[in-house]
Structure 1
């Protein structure tokens, strides 16, 4: 021990002597331990950095332009200009049993002030140079904007010229009046030549400006053109919720990812498009959550995944149908799971009756829902409302009933208190299949082949002259789930690649192995059964596109 201490002391003394020797080489002020020097011969101008940070006040704001994250930011302002922004950290706590919401933000938000004042920010209209040249020449010669646009777009050679220039630059600045004139001329010509339904409108998202969104939507409505959902083009959210329920964003919210035991990111690149919310998914993995990513590319979300399913682009629907085939077969037909059946009875349209109507060739196809008005049921509401009240069969009595909570109860004044999913004493019957059930074959589409159709049997019942079946029975037929006693063309098993919706069938389309799709579908449904529904799919823009 003494020998080791002596060596350490010698090393300390030697180092100190070397440091002192350095003072003779460069005479300058040093720290007491001789380990740092203060140089006065150089100066660092940190004034630009200090000025960049300088501010008069701090205001709370958010980045609502093309983003619905609604993250709260502290914006530092000097002389009316944004100088910097940092994340607010005053979100209320959600409790000790889950992660906090804050800090919310992303790199795009942190650098938003640079975008705001960027010299490359587009502030004026631009047009493709080749198109602008042709338009101005035709406009001067013909004297009519609509005629000028018609000449350009109807001439195959000219049309190819400006369309072929896309993606190659060549944009030039144009005045507002001329830009609006070209746009108006294109609208007028398209409506006159092809009809208003050939004009499709896309408006700014409501989160950015409700006024701008409403103006665009109103314009499309007035000219008779379809209005695209902004979710078709924007970010990473599904369109079903806003179109059906009027919600601004997806349901459930991102915090519920934490509660999922099995999470599938389907076409959703969460770390990139849902940056402030991605931590819910990343942290839930520490609770034992399994994460599966469905994406044709190795996206940023894939690195979080326990498994990665990568179907060919545009084929993921086939994989979803195969998963549905497995789940319906194993969890609804072979072994009905009470939790699943009770759920779909209350929260879906699967028990409702659908009429079967003959086509031109006499073959039956699914028709409209059967309503209370069709069967003359007295539901205590106005006749007009009964036309919007679909009907199901009460399993207790075998009679058709119109349960509360359907569309016909939404606006009828006599339905106060009935706009609810409470079934009361009604027990919806999912399937009409039984010992004495009548059957009929229906023709259903298959989209993987040209003019494809399949003929499959469903159990039916006759009500007031209508031949009816349930949505559930049609669903099983569409997914190719075989049940004893039903006629038609059915898959022989999961390995039958000739029939749509089987795992083997999807493998030929997506390249994802059939066995893997079967296993993931089982895991997803089994997890939902064990946890009471804590299996979740995060839908993304990829599925919309």
Structure 2
């Protein structure tokens, strides 16, 4: 140690002396070395100051060095499921590029790749953001209660019970909900609380009182599988996307009974007529927007309904700038045009066959007196006709062309019964139901229908329009289709009530009526409705509506959506490639889902 200390205290010239020629000074050696290392020396030649013009270049090259490349994606809830090459150096994500080995879609459709967007390309910065939550947090009152209870009880389940079964303790931590106050906790501690709460709840109330939901498959199929499998194994209740997020299109289960069963974005390419209604595709569906932009070059017409000129509007052939939240009025007016021109004024066999087979349009609805008017009641069912078969109260009825009541397959009474096993389908067989009772009706009645655009209160008012009716099994009935025409203000000779004289008459739900509400010119609404239906007629259903959060995030969004879905069903589009509705949450239907 002493010799080391003495050596450290010696001067550089003394240390280098054994290396210098005899009597050669150090300064002379340093001066001669300048020819090998250009730069500006200090006065004593012991320092060399250099301006390195390639230092930035070396920094740039080091930025892109990596040890390995892994495949991954980004859980940003856009449901794009894009595949990325992630470059890793020393265990740290350094940068990302798009993966380009997707299976080919074949010669008849654009490829899926390249997929990705600027948000994905910069995702590594989010990964290492100082604001990212990387540890469990719990509200302080609950953590304090837990630690106190854990000190008194050796069994974690007993410790949790001592908190939730004590009214004062339970109120203490529950009263802080929504107020913040989170503190960092240990993983083992938090996991023990969760496990103890599960066990206690199951023991006292049963496993079905455990209700949960894990991330949607579009975010992470592995995460979704883990959470769903756990709840299944313990007998818990699994929430749906709609229960959890509360911003999904609830009109989908209302109308179809399922959760947004829409096509993947590649099907936009197959549409002959595309209405983009409330979804800014280049922004919200960035990796898929090319299916829309490329389809225009094969003759697809694009109509955008949007209150503002945004990124997707520039792709439109027609732009309908409806005021925010008024989309339902525009769609009702379009339905008025379609029902008038493609159902009343002339018959389209494809449309009629479609709605008779796949919708409830031909089913009979009872009518009940209400003052001087009638109100639509419930569906006429087999039990109303004296049928005592299994689930007869859930088997709806149609009238065939001979005027006989018939019970077709496909209704609820065939779905959940043993006698309906193998018969739950939409095959009409030899039944040819009447779509309307008009022309074979026994009488006409005036029906009181709600309207919400005017009225003394926000509850709206009433509009009275007539429908054809007849008695079946002692019940006064009409068809869903006849009620639909009345609701959409499509007049037929001989029917009582308040009817518009034409498209320019400002009565619900005409093009002129919607112009006052939406700001969209009546002529534009008529033109787009006519083109949408005519394209569907010629292409057998290849007219599509892309919907999104712009029309969904309203209190009355279910009503808005039902007006859209009525258009797609009246035109025979639902269930057709290139037709129907395509929603912004529909991108779970991508290739990886096949394996799932």
- TM-score per shorter chain, which class? 0.7 to 0.9
2:270 maps to 1:265:
no
Q: TM-score when scaled to structure 1?
A: 0.72
- For structure 1, which runs of at least 5 residues remain unmatched after alignment? 1-38, 128-142, 154-158, 163-170, 180-200
2:478 maps to 1:473:
no
Aligned-partner Cα distance in 1 for 2:218–2:171: 35
Residue 358 of structure 1 and its aligned partner are, at CA, apart by 3.2
Say whether the 8 Å CA contact 1:390–1:402 is kept in structure 2: yes
SS in 1 for 2:429: coil
Distance change (3 Å), C-alpha of 1:481 and 1:289: same
- What is the aligned counterpart of 2:383 among 373, 377, 383? 373
2:455 maps to 1:446:
no
Aligned-partner Cα distance in 2 for 1:323–1:350: 18
The residue correspondences of 1:155-304 to structure 2 (distance < 5 A) are 174=183, 204-208=215-219, 209-210=223-224, 228-229=242-243, 233=247, 238-241=249-252, 249-304=260-315
The residue that corresponds to 1:118 in the other structure is: 129
Larger radius of gyration: 2
Aligned-partner Cα distance in 2 for 1:216–1:246: 26
Residue 63 of structure 1 and its aligned partner are, at CA, apart by 2.4
SS in 2 for 1:387: helix
Deviates more, 1:516-525 or 1:406-415: 406-415
Q: How far does the alpha carbon of each residue in 1:181-205 deviate from its partner, in whole angstroms, 9 at most, with x for none?
A: xxxxxxxxxxxxxxxxxxxx99854
The residue that corresponds to 1:519 in the other structure is: 527
Q: How far does the alpha carbon of each residue in 1:134-193 deviate from its partner, in whole angstroms, 9 at most, with x for none?
A: xxxxxxxxx87848988x99xxxxx9xx9xxxxxxxx8865579x9xxxxxxxxxxxxxx
Residue 340 of structure 1 and its aligned partner are, at CA, apart by 1.1
The residue that corresponds to 1:503 in the other structure is: 511
Deviates more, 1:434-443 or 1:238-247: 238-247
Q: How many residues align?
A: 448
Root-mean-square deviation over aligned CA pairs: 3.8
The residue that corresponds to 2:548 in the other structure is: 540
The residue that corresponds to 1:455 in the other structure is: 464
Aligned-partner Cα distance in 2 for 1:353–1:176: 61
Residue 466 of structure 1 and its aligned partner are, at CA, apart by 1.9
The residue that corresponds to 1:415 in the other structure is: 420
The residue that corresponds to 1:139 in the other structure is: none
Say whether the 8 Å CA contact 2:213–2:228 is kept in structure 1: no
The residue that corresponds to 2:397 in the other structure is: 391
Q: TM-score when scaled to structure 2?
A: 0.66
Deviates more, 1:362-371 or 1:450-459: 362-371
Distance change (3 Å), C-alpha of 1:442 and 1:205: same
The residue that corresponds to 1:485 in the other structure is: 494
The residue that corresponds to 1:354 in the other structure is: 365
Distance change (3 Å), C-alpha of 1:246 and 1:442: closer
Distance change (3 Å), C-alpha of 1:505 and 1:244: closer
Say whether the 8 Å CA contact 1:231–1:541 is kept in structure 2: no
SS in 1 for 2:416: coil
Residue 363 of structure 1 and its aligned partner are, at CA, apart by 3.7
SS in 2 for 1:364: strand
Say whether the 8 Å CA contact 2:242–2:250 is kept in structure 1: no
Aligned-partner Cα distance in 2 for 1:505–1:226: 38
2:324 maps to 1:307:
no
Residue 243 of structure 1 and its aligned partner are, at CA, apart by 6.7
Residue 319 of structure 1 and its aligned partner are, at CA, apart by 0.7
The residue that corresponds to 1:316 in the other structure is: 327
Residue 493 of structure 1 and its aligned partner are, at CA, apart by 1.2
Distance change (3 Å), C-alpha of 1:62 and 1:442: same
SS in 2 for 1:312: coil
Residue 246 of structure 1 and its aligned partner are, at CA, apart by 7.2
Deviates more, 1:527-536 or 1:115-124: 115-124
Distance change (3 Å), C-alpha of 1:242 and 1:87: farther
SS in 1 for 2:437: coil
Deviates more, 1:530-539 or 1:64-73: 64-73
SS in 2 for 1:293: strand
